[in-house]
Amino acid sequence: MANLKEVKGRIQSVTSTQQITKAMKMVAAAKLRRAQDSIMQMRPYSQKLSHILQNVSSGMENNENNLYGIEREESNILIVPISSDKGLCGAFNSNVFKQVVRLIQGKYKSQYDRGNVTILPIGKRSFEYFSKRDFKVVGEYYEMFSNLSFESAKQAAEFAMSGYVKGDYDKVDLVFNEFKNVATQVIQVEQFLPILPNEEENTGSVYDVPTDYIYLPSKADIVNDLIPNSLKIQFYKGVLESNASEHGARMTAMDKATENAGELLKELKLTYNRTRQAAITKEILEIVGGAEALG
């Protein structure tokens, strides 16, 4: 049985840890509120814009008018895993890494074997994980969360879009945690480029006809302005989803850590009291035994 000094030291250590996890939970909760408001405001706008983008893209007469909708043989792949800068958020980061590895070992195995899979990490944890392994990594945009804004996300999106237009990449996938609620984050693999056609089910209604747009001022302006900006917003939306998910995952993890610390404290205090009582009993027995010996 541990002595009193050791048990008392462990109690103090666990108490300090519990105070830290409580503080981290409160900080995560404050950040989560702001991040949740941002993504909830972005979602309706992003979804509607994505719908229009798909219709406009599929309505182009030929691929020359739509540089971002050209479907090519998938020889070169760019994967964008979005993680966090810090840990202590449960399986938030590892779920992203596992999903990327599954994609590479399964869907993109032939491309990876030829050295044609590139990783564009967003978040320090993602950069550290893929840099230490046998992956081609673009390490210019991973510090985005240190100053998260549309401008910082725009730069990474422009890199992916430019690489796709030039033919460096034939497909771009985003891998991120979609925010559902504080306790639930769902891994999503979203095709960023080429732009997916509108896949709404045909219900047989008279309204199920191809959308015909009148382009003003011209289709060229649509390609040069609307479509690129829409893609950047879609990219930013994925980053915001991951940001909200991170704070939700950290809040949940710290709450559970605080509970576990409380349970451990109960066990340690019980052990401390038992050890103390045993020591007192032993001293009493020694005193009684000494008195009887003297008598």
Q: Please check whether residue 239 lies inside any domain of the structure.
A: yes
Q: Please check whether residue 12 lies inside any domain of the structure.
A: no
Confidence of residue 204 (pLDDT cuts 50, 70, 90): very low
pLDDT, mean of residues 98-108: 95
pLDDT, mean of residues 166-187: 93
Q: Please check whether residue 78 lies inside any domain of the structure.
A: yes
| Angstrom distance (rounded) from CA 172 to CA 239 | 15
Contact 139, 121 (CB under 8 A): yes
Q: Please check whether residue 107 lies inside any domain of the structure.
A: yes
- The full DSSP string for 3-69 is -HHHHHHHHHHHHHHHHHHHHHHHHHHHHHHHHHHHHHHHHHHHHHHHHHHHHHHHT-SSTTT-TTS
Q: Please check whether residue 136 lies inside any domain of the structure.
A: yes
Q: Please check whether residue 102 lies inside any domain of the structure.
A: yes
Q: Please check whether residue 270 lies inside any domain of the structure.
A: no
pLDDT tens by residue, 123-168: 999 999 999 988 999 999 999 998 899 999 999 999 999 999 999 9
Give every CB contact of residue 249 below 8 A, 6+ residues apart in sequence.
89, 90, 91, 92, 177, 185
Domain, as residue range, for 98: 28-196+212-254
> In this prediction, what percent of the chain has a pLDDT beyond 90?
58
Give the per-residue pLDDT at 203: 44
Give the per-residue pLDDT at 172: 96
Q: Please check whether residue 286 lies inside any domain of the structure.
A: no
**How many domains is the chain partitioned into structurally?**
1
- Quick one: DSSP state of residue 82? B
CATH number at residue 186: 3.40.1380.10
Q: Tell me the H-state helices in the chain.
A: 4-58, 92-105, 109-113, 124-131, 150-166, 219-221, 227-294
